[in-house]
Amino acid sequence: MNKVEINMMVKNIVSEHLDINHHFVTRNRRIVDDLGADSMNFLEIVIDIERQLNISIEDYLLSDVSTVGDLIDVAADVAMPSGGDRVVNIGCLGCV
Domain residue limits, the chain = 3-79
Instruction: Look at residues 78, 65, 73, 77 and name the one whose alpha carbon lies nearest to residue 35.
Output: 65
Does the structure show a pLDDT above 50 at 89? no
- CATH code given to domain 3-79: 1.10.1200.10
What is the C-alpha separation between 10 and 52, in angstroms, rounded? Answer: 10
- The pTM for the full model equals 0.84
User: Mean pLDDT across the stretch 51-80?
Assistant: 97
Residue type, 38: D
- The confidence score (pLDDT) of residue 83 equals 62
List, for residues 5-45, the tens digit of each pLDDT value: 999 999 999 999 999 999 999 999 999 999 999 999 999 99
